[in-house]
Amino acid sequence: MDDVTPEGETPEREPDATPAGAEPAPASDAAHEPQAAPGAPATPPDAPADDAAPAPPPAPRAAPVPRAARPIEPPEIPIDVPRGRLSAQTRRAFLLFTGGVIASAAGAWWLLPDATRRRLLPDGPRADLDSLAARVGLARANRERVLDRALTFDDDVAEALYSPNRAVRTYARDQVTPLRNNYDGRTPGPEILDGWALRITGLAAGGIVTLTRDQLLARFALREQVTRLVCVEGWSAIAWWGGIRFADLLAAFPPAPGARWVAMRSSVNLDARGNPDPYYVSIDLGTARHPQTLLATHQNGAPLTLEHGAPLRLLAPVKLGLKNIKAVTDIAYTTPEPADYWNERGYSKYDGL
């Protein structure tokens, strides 16, 4: 490798090469550092002379620049590389690049939802592309497996981040913001309140426990908290809730040994046309025992409205809103993980915040 010289424009004719990676000779060091120095927008006084000079003097003109004055970015040092080897490296780099472009394009097509593909390409070419992709293993089933795996990985990360002792941030009552009714279907009517009772199964004592709203409120202390409800859609609202602690209910009616999950169900849930569409969520027992997890009966100091889950809803501020099931009718403690309504529709089943 030749020392860098300002006039080194004809590298092919340079007579000798020194090994690459060698430190620049002091002469070159001294010649370059002042010019590359930071904080010197003005041209160094000797630069114009350098510009015009045919060649730099071979001997050092100045003492080496002290370390403190060294620029953070050393001057670029050109190296001479045999043409053949450079071509081979270039060829390899561009082959890798082309491979990456093809892999990215194929991967992008593979990951795209079917509806998006339908919008992007007409049926004929799309079918051709899909069958081509399937031939190299980029089939729809594999895509779902990969995306599910990513979702599970994200759930594992969330579980690792979770601490049962960490309290969710609480707010003052005057920080409450409007909370929308996000029932996916039609909001149930007041008829669900008649004769409502919470059914609990999977208990250590066996059998079924049935508790009315009055019995629940008479037996357990009413707790109040102002927390944020975060929806998977991205909106959030601060709300003032009142209810009994799920942990208190668990202490009074302990689950069967080995139970790890709570299957919560609203059998009165409706679809958009008003037909029965039971809603169900899976909650791990740890979340149920969290001190801020409530079986809420009140909002803003008044009994829950039908829009927000009367007569009783789950309020688990460590979980996304979709886990906060409204109008709960059944609680079952289970050993295997229960089904989850939105998980069956492509969302995470962990949903931890």
Partner 1 sequence: MPEPRTARDTTVRIVPKHHALVRLTHWANVPLLFGLIASGLAIYWAAPVFVHAWNPATGSRDYLADLGIAVARLVHDDHAATWFYDHFSIGSGMLARALRLHWVLAYLFMVNGALYVIGLAAGGGWRALAPRPSDLGDALRMMRFYLGVIPMAILRRPWPHPPVRSKYNALQRAGYLAMPVLGALVVASGWAMHKPSQLGWLESAFVNYDGARIVHFACMVAFAGFIVPHVCLAIADGWDTLRSMVVGWSTRIKESAHG
Residues of span 75-104 touching partner 1 by CB under 8 A: 75-84, 86, 89-90, 93-94, 97, 100, 104
Spell out the residues 6+ positions from residue 167 whose beta carbon is closer than 8 angstroms to its own.
291, 292
- Distance CA(315)–CA(325), nearest Å, equals 8
Which residues inside 227-246 make contact with partner 1, applying CB under 8 A? Answer: 228, 230-236
CB 333 within 8 A of CB 262: yes
CB of 264 to partner 1, least distance (A): 20
Q: How far is the CB of 189 from partner 1 (least distance, A)?
A: 26
Q: Which of residues 300-319 bind partner 1 (CB under 8 A)?
A: 317-318
Within 10 angstroms of residue 200's Cβ, the number of other Cβ atoms is: 21
Give the DSSP per-residue string, 248-268.
HHHHHSPBPTT--EEEEEETT
Question: Which strands form 261-266's sheet, in the order they lie side by side?
Answer: 209-211, 198-201, 330-334, 261-266, 279-284
Residue whose CB is less far from partner 1, 93 or 272: 93
Residues 26-45 that bind partner 1 (CB under 8 A): 31-32, 35-36, 38-41, 43
24 interacts with partner 1 by CB under 8 A: no
Question: Minimum distance from CB of 21 to partner 1 (Å)?
Answer: 8
Is there binding between residue 156 and partner 1 (CB under 8 A)? no
DSSP state of 332: E
- CB 96, min distance to partner 1, A: 8
Assess 166 for contact with partner 1 (CB under 8 A). yes
Closest distance of CB 148 from partner 1, Å: 8
Q: How many CB atoms are closer than 10 A to CB 195? A: 7
Q: Which is nearer to partner 1, 74 or 254 (CB)?
A: 74
